[in-house]
Amino acid sequence: MAKDKQTGYEPMTSIEAITAGLDTVGYISVSQISTAVFLAHGLRKPILIEGPAGVGKTDLAASLSKWLNLPLIRLQCYEGLDEGKALYEWKYGKQLLYTQILKEKLNELLGGAETLKDSLSKLSGFEDLFFSPQFLEARPLLHAMQQDRGSVLLIDEIDKSDEAFEAFLLEVLSDYQVTVPEIGTIRAKVPPLVILTSNNVRELGDALKRRCLHLHIGFPDHEREQRIVRARVDGISDTLLNQLVRFVQSVRETDIKKRPSIAETVDWARTLLLLHASTLDEAFVRDTLNVLLKHESDIAAVSPALGKMVREATGPDGRGRLASGYPDMG
């Protein structure tokens, strides 16, 4: 796939290069994620990322833009989001202001006209002046198309938008072009790298899914989570890190409403570090559990077994048992 020299996607030569590159900006990737990014670039298709909240869906886009040194253009979706806010708008105020300023000039120009018909035909010669690219307010989607070196376009929480908007996105995502009636079709100079995220609030339409590569990011395994926390939290000791991740992993296995994700693990690690904890102990965990679990009922559900879970997380053989997936015999 021949690309222009100027695009910012050049570092994405192989899957390993992507993993290594993301690593340099502190995003610990796995092969599935890197593969999806590589394919998205190669096939020029958007990636649709699904998965629980806080596992690094949005962060992938941010890290990619940081690594490739490309602008990150973000479009947060919500109910009622429309073309005007996503694509472009006419700068009405500027148009009005310019008309006012140019009034005299216009009078001068139109002064020569004798009849109404004459002035109208003269005026229609200028009309396009006010509907030209300089009066066009680019919203995220158009903005992403206008980048010279390409960009990372993040369409966040697409499932929160209306179906009408989803349908409207199809043109943008499959052809990387938008149509402005007054100006014409604007084609992307360099197709942006598009990342859509979804929390599955509603089922997305088949048409949209078909245009995207599908990537599911789940909760990380022990090793990856450790690496992520280490990358995100400075100065955490290996002992605490190991114990903390083990504890979080075991919490995820319990039957609770909202399982803690990486974002919560990182927050908790920071909290513990702030409290100068060097190892996990039950009292500490109990006091700071609200950082990890966001529902009162979840805290209540975990509390009774807390002592045991902490002991297992700090115990010498805990790691092997969790990793090999043996059922907990108590």
Partner 1 sequence: MEKQISNFIRALRSADVQVSTGEALDAARTVAMIGYDDRGLMKDSLACVLAKSESEKQIHDRLFELYFSSAPAGSAAQSAGAGSESEPGEDPEDAAERLSQLTQQGNEQALATAIERAAEQAGLNDIRFSTQVAYFAQSMVRAMGGEQLQARLLEALQGRTPDADAEAQRLIDVRRTLTMTARERAERAFQIFGAAETEKFRDDVAATKRLSAIEASDMARMKQLVAKVAKRLAVKHSRRRKRTQRGLLDVRRTMRANAGVDGIPFNVIWRQKKKDRPKIIVICDVSGSVALYVRFLLLLLFSMKEAIPDLHAFAFSYRLKSVDDILETMEFDAAIKKILREIGLGSTSYGQAFSDFKMDHENKIDRRTTIIILGDGRSNYGDPRLDLFRDFAGRAKRVIWLNPEGRALWGTGDSVIPRYEPFCAQMSHVATLKDLEKAIDEVLTAYS
Interface residues with partner 1 (CB under 8 A)?
A: 15, 31-32, 35-36, 38-39, 42-43, 45, 50, 84, 92-93, 96, 163, 202-203, 206, 209-210, 212-216
Which of residues 55 and 273 has its CB atom nearest to partner 1 in the complex?
55
Q: From the CB of 37, what's the least distance to partner 1, in Å?
A: 10
Taking CA 304 as the corner, what is the angle to CA 301 and CA 309, rounded to the nearest 5 degrees? 100
Q: From the CB of 23, what's the least distance to partner 1, in Å?
A: 18
Tokens of 287: 């006091």
Q: From the CB of 127, what's the least distance to partner 1, in Å?
A: 16
- Consecutive H or E run containing 214: strand 213-216
Q: List, as one string, the DSSP characters of 215-226.
A: EE-----HHHHH
Which of residues 94 and 311 has its CB atom nearest to partner 1 in the complex?
94
Place of tokens 């060097």: 278
Q: From the CB of 16, what's the least distance to partner 1, in Å?
A: 10
Q: Which region, left, alpha or beta, applies to residue 325 given φ > 0 means left and ψ of -120 to 50 means alpha?
A: left
Q: From the CB of 312, what's the least distance to partner 1, in Å?
A: 27
Which of residues 214 and 311 has its CB atom nearest to partner 1 in the complex?
214
Tokens of 29: 């990737």
Sign of CA dihedral 79, 203, 54, 283: positive
Which of residues 27 and 38 has its CB atom nearest to partner 1 in the complex?
38
Which of residues 47 and 236 has its CB atom nearest to partner 1 in the complex?
47
Pairing of strands 152-156, 177-180: unpaired
In one-letter notation, the amino acid at residue 198 is: S
Q: From the CB of 33, what's the least distance to partner 1, in Å?
A: 9
Q: From the CB of 176, what's the least distance to partner 1, in Å?
A: 16
In one-letter notation, the amino acid at residue 41 is: H
Instruction: For residue 45, give every residue at least 6 positions away whose Cβ sits within 8 Å of its Cβ, in sequence order, or none.
Output: 39, 211, 212, 213
Q: List, as one string, the DSSP characters of 46-64.
A: -EEEE-STTSSHHHHHHHH
Q: From the CB of 118, what's the least distance to partner 1, in Å?
A: 27
Instruction: For residue 292, give every residue at least 6 positions away whose Cβ sits within 8 Å of its Cβ, in sequence order, or none.
Output: 248, 251, 260, 264, 265, 267, 268
Which of residues 162 and 282 has its CB atom nearest to partner 1 in the complex?
162
The total of other beta-carbon atoms located within 10 Å of residue 329's CB is 5
Which of residues 39 and 231 has its CB atom nearest to partner 1 in the complex?
39
Q: What b/e string do you get for 233-271 counting C-beta neighbours within 10 Å, with b at 16 or more?
A: beebeeebbbbbbbbbbbbeeeebeebbbbebbbbbbbb
Which of residues 50 and 282 has its CB atom nearest to partner 1 in the complex?
50
Q: From the CB of 203, what's the least distance to partner 1, in Å?
A: 5
Which of residues 30 and 275 has its CB atom nearest to partner 1 in the complex?
30
